Structure 1
Amino acid sequence: MFQRILIACVGNICRSPTAEYLLRDRLGPGHGATVSSAGLSAMTGHSMDSTALALLLEHGVDGEGHVARQLDAHLLRRSDLILVMERSHVDAIRRMAPEASGKVFLLDKWLGSRDIPDPYRQRRPAYEQAYALIEQGVTSWLHYL
């Protein structure tokens, strides 16, 4: 069983917090895993992007308390499972902490290993597409957690 699940993207204000809050919600309070997120180039200290947050809220999940943080080797080492949005994120994490390589996977691993495009600074349809892919990825991982 994975005790510490980390989800990463670039800025930690759109995709990874969406996945973090969705996964936490889907696992439920009794699961026992800690789910968190961080960014490779995080907008440290910022709250969740307003469009990403609105989509979460529309689906019954509250991400209001999110504060973006920077991904570092310490977070990677202490995580049991690291889920990322793009292949380039896998590569960046492997360079940052080679010892974490075996626990880094695409969020979409079980559905074709597609990259989930970054919707940041785009119109709402881009966020909706990213949300749908993130939701599918989160759901696919539930069988393994």
Structure 2
Amino acid sequence: MIKTVLVVCIGNICRSPMAEGLLRQALPNLAVTSAGLGAVVGSPPDPIAIELMGEFGLDISQHRAQQLSGTLASQTDLILVMENEQKHEIQRRHPVVSGKVFRLGEPAKFDIPDPYRQPRESFERAFQQIQHGVQAWVPRIQALAGAERE
């Protein structure tokens, strides 16, 4: 049964906070959080990510980056990453969680490139891919959480 979902990227200031916001909206009864493999702890989200999410009615401005730890990973039921390489890195760092790490774009077999320090268009592309991944995962997560489908 899934009760907790962790979304991971590199810095925890662009992709994973956006995915966290979308998943929290879609799965209000689950605990959803995010972390980074190389986060500068306490950093706010990228201003473009904040602006873009705000346009969709989601406020991620209070988010602060956190580093993925073994404790955080082991206490989470499902870990979703942006890139296949991140999946392998988590499995290398924390082998005990290997079976619960999946790529957000896995259902359609795609990675979500990092838009950090890129123009807004890169953030928009990443957001669209994140939306696609979230839409594919939500029914699966709901089924595994025992939640009613809408």
The two structures share one fold, judged by TM-score above 0.5:
yes
Report the Cα distance in structure 2 between the residues aligned to 1:43 and 1:88, rounded to whole angstroms.
20
TM-score by length of 1: 0.95
Report Cα offsets for 1:46-78 as digits up to 9, x if no partner. Answer: 111000111100011111210000011111111
Residue in 2 that maps onto 1:121: 117
Report the Cα distance in structure 1 between the residues aligned to 2:114 and 2:68, rounded to whole angstroms.
17
Report Cα offsets for 1:101-124 as digits up to 9, x if no partner. Answer: 00000001112x211000000001
Report the Cα distance in structure 2 between the residues aligned to 1:65 and 1:136, rounded to whole angstroms.
24
Q: Which runs of 5+ in 2 are unaligned?
A: 142-150
Identity of aligned residues (%): 46
Report the Cα distance in structure 2 between the residues aligned to 1:51 and 1:64, rounded to whole angstroms.
11
Matched, 1:17 2:17: yes
The alignment's C-alpha RMSD in Å is 0.8
Report the Cα distance in structure 1 between the residues aligned to 2:40 and 2:115, rounded to whole angstroms.
15
Residue in 1 that maps onto 2:43: 46
Report Cα offsets for 1:115-145 as digits up to 9, x if no partner. Answer: 1000000001000000000011011111112
Runs of 4+ off more than 4 Å: none
Q: Which runs of 5+ in 1 are unaligned?
A: none
Report the Cα distance in structure 2 between the residues aligned to 1:22 and 1:47, rounded to whole angstroms.
17
Query: How many residues in Structure 1 have an aligned counterpart in Structure 2?
Result: 141
Report the Cα distance in structure 1 between the residues aligned to 2:62 and 2:133, rounded to whole angstroms.
23
